[in-house]
Amino acid sequence: MGRYHVQFKCHHCGHCCTDVICLPTPWDVLRIAMGTGENPYTFLEFLSSEEITGVEKSDPTWLEVNGERYMMAVQRDETVGCFFLDKQTEFCSIYEQRPLLCRLYPFKLHETRNAEFDSFSLHTDVGCPRNQDGIHETKPLYELYLQDKMHQDDYAALVQAFNKDKNMTRNPDDFLQLFIEIVDADQI
């Protein structure tokens, strides 16, 4: 484990872009939409609890719609991968706008019993080969982690507000209306 650095170098195996489901925060969605001009209704999907594993049932970002639970995710194709994976280059087409989750992958934060920063390591339960022939400083990772934690708290508050509305005619896409305003170019 590394308090100041973690040994890792990405060798672009593609695991994170093809095998991992990306769960962006609303802030990530806005950053992607503003940076790319892409409509969030085009690049997002809402996965049911049967379609996604590894997310605790107690996670505060589960959307509740008509007795079902959903999680907001970047669309991905089972064979090709992430919506933003460039099919020609096999690199991320929104690298500068990519979600914080993508920026932190495959690193894992460790905290003390007092919930203070202790160190980072590489996740052991992921398909990334975790190549250790490079060095990543932990300070920028920790700053990303703090930013993500703040966004996760805001995300949970939005989900809580959404889940209070028990309207039986809504669907998971309606969640986007809490933080996105689509402007029709013809109306400008």
User: Using one digit for the tens of pLDDT, what is the confidence trace for 52-61?
Assistant: 988 999 999 9
| Inside any domain, residue 185 | no
CB-side neighbour CA atoms (13 Å) of 8: 24
Q: Is there a domain that residue 187 lies in?
A: no
Q: Does residue 184 sit within a domain?
A: no
Q: Does residue 122 belong to any structural domain of this protein?
A: yes
Which domain range does residue 149 map to?
5-171
| Cα 135 to Cα 133: distance, rounded to the nearest angstrom | 7
Q: pTM (2 decimals)? A: 0.86
- In angstroms, the CA 117 to CA 110 distance is 7
In the chain, how many domains are there? 1
- Look at residue 177 and tell me if it is in a domain: no
Say how far apart CA 150 and CA 166 lie, in whole Å: 27
Q: Is 51 a domain residue?
A: yes
- Whether 178 maps to a domain, the answer reads no
Whether residue 13 lies inside any domain: the answer is: yes
How do residues 33-45 score in pLDDT, each as one tens digit?
999 999 999 999 9
Q: Which of 82, 86, 84 shows the shortest CA–CA distance to 33?
A: 84
Residue ranges with strand state E in 23-180? 44-48, 63-65, 68-74, 76-77, 81-82, 107-111, 117-122, 135-137
Average pLDDT over residues 144-172: 91
- Please tell me the predicted confidence (pLDDT) of residue 41: 94
Cβ neighbors of 180 (< 8 A, separation 6 or more) are 29, 30, 33, 40
Q: How confident is the model at residue 1 (pLDDT cuts 50, 70, 90)?
A: low
H/E element holding 148? helix 138-164
